[in-house]
Amino acid sequence: MTTNTASLTLDGRAQARRDYGTISLIGLAHGTSHFFHMLLPPLFPAFIKDFGLSYSELGLLVTTFFVISGIGQALAGFLVDKRGARPVLFAALACFVLASVAAGMATGFGGLMLAAALAGLGNSPFHPVDFTILNKRVSQPRLGHAFSVHGITGNLGWALAPVFSIGIAEATGNWRYAYLGTGLVALAVIALLFFKREAIDDSQGSWGHAKPAAGVKAEHPMAFLRLPSVWLCFSFFFFTTAALSAIQSFASPALGQMYGLPLSLTAYVVTGYMLCGALGMVIGGFLVARVQRLERTIAMAMALAAGLLLLVAAGWLPPLVAAAATALAGFGTGLAGPSRDMLIKRAAPPGATGRVYGTVYSGLDVGFALAAPVFGALLDGGHPAGVFAGSAAALGLGIASAGLVGLRIARTRLATA
């Protein structure tokens, strides 16, 4: 009996090591993709100075990134399900190297547009790739923590990119060296993942790219699009990303207009929002394993965030409290993150995870691409409170979408039982 117990303990420890290895590597890959979201924006002032570009042209670079990423993300899910996630991941990282080369050699708007397109193409497969590998290789007890780490590293990638690029540009006096640095970052990640490639081998997992059993008719690859829960998850991502886009892009100037706060202070609000989001994700990872009705966790967490943003929009708070409340709203959205990712897993048919995550997460890119002009117009029109009220309204619509997804999953389980 003692020998058997010791053997089980060793097996458990070995599985834990494998889980943590996979989680760490996929976290690194996801952080890299978010790092490359910010390949161009931190150096926009340098492009204006050297190339004489307008803000409209620079905005088009961002739109190009997210349009290509959104379309590519939906298509990448099919490729991941057919060919496997690992080779697609290496191809995506190679695109980041090429994007860095294009940006560093750019002589005008055309070169920067090429860099934005390559970075968007590289970004497109990450969610179907990441969640396919995590769902197949990480054991169920640690899956919630895996989703938590995945979200945290994304936030950290966003936070690191401006410091990295601007720091190199200022230290060297030449912004082109920043893109030498980003290219080396992508190459280093490729080298590490290749060295540890066994830990991200999605052909080894609880379900593989297997053919249906004899006598079982295979579903059409597009059959998952008939599932209402897929489109409800898509709408959930669209609305929650619209809220994030509002805060990420316009919270700083909106707080300045409403409360008279200096840019030197409001610039840190977005960083605070991301850090509070990371803390929320850590706690949310523990909640996933303990809560059956995940949509309730999502609703409570996002309602907290929406309530704080509505208080800011009302203009009732003292200026510093308003800045703190905006940052603290990130905790609510972060807390909902791991439950959100687990909810999508439950809604996805086995073997179609790549397609489902690709389609659902393309709502993120669509939200970024469409929301920024809307909230920018509110700010230009002299309605800074609309940034916070609109963000809160978007979170409310996201809560409704998550609730409907949870309701459909619960009904399906009852029908099966």
Identify which of 263, 376, 274, 309 has the alpha carbon closest to the alpha carbon of residue 38.
274
* Start and end residues for every CATH 1.20.1250.20 domain found in the chain: 16-142+157-199, 223-417
Q: How far, in Å, CA of 23 to CA of 199, rounded?
A: 9
Q: What angle do CA 301, 330, 370 make, to 5 degrees?
A: 100
Q: Distance of alpha carbon 254 from its chain centroid, rounded?
A: 24
Q: How far, in Å, CA of 113 to CA of 118, rounded?
A: 9
- The answer for 360, left when phi > 0, alpha when psi is -120 to 50, beta otherwise, is alpha
Angle between helices 294-314 and 228-259 (to 10 degrees): 20
From first to last of the 417 residues of the chain, give the pLDDT tens digit.
Answer: 455 555 445 467 888 889 999 999 999 999 999 999 889 888 887 898 999 987 668 778 888 898 899 888 878 878 888 888 999 999 999 999 999 999 999 999 999 999 999 999 999 999 889 988 998 898 888 887 888 888 889 888 887 888 898 889 989 999 999 999 999 999 999 999 999 999 999 876 554 434 444 444 455 556 556 666 677 778 888 888 888 888 877 888 889 889 998 867 876 787 788 888 888 888 887 777 676 677 777 888 889 999 999 999 999 999 999 999 999 999 988 888 777 777 666 666 665 556 776 777 778 788 887 887 788 778 778 889 999 999 999 999 988 887 787 777 667 667 666
Question: Which pLDDT score, from 0 to 100, does residue 207 have?
Answer: 44
User: Regarding the domain with residue range 16-142+157-199, which homologous superfamily does it belong to in the CATH classification?
Assistant: MFS general substrate transporter like domains (1.20.1250.20)
- Residue 101's CB: how many other CB atoms inside 10 A? 17
Q: What angle do CA 235, 239, 244 make, to 5 degrees?
A: 140
Locate 72 and state its tokens. 């590519």
Q: How far, in Å, CA of 341 to CA of 347, rounded?
A: 10
Question: Which pLDDT score, from 0 to 100, does residue 168 have?
Answer: 93
CATH 3.40.640.10 fits 223-417, yes or no: no
Locate 88 and state its tokens. 């697609």
pLDDT digits (tens, 9 = 90+) for 323-373: 999 999 999 888 887 777 776 666 666 655 567 767 777 787 888 878 877
Tracing tokens 């949509």 back to the chain, one arrives at: 295
Question: Which pLDDT score, from 0 to 100, does residue 320 have?
Answer: 94
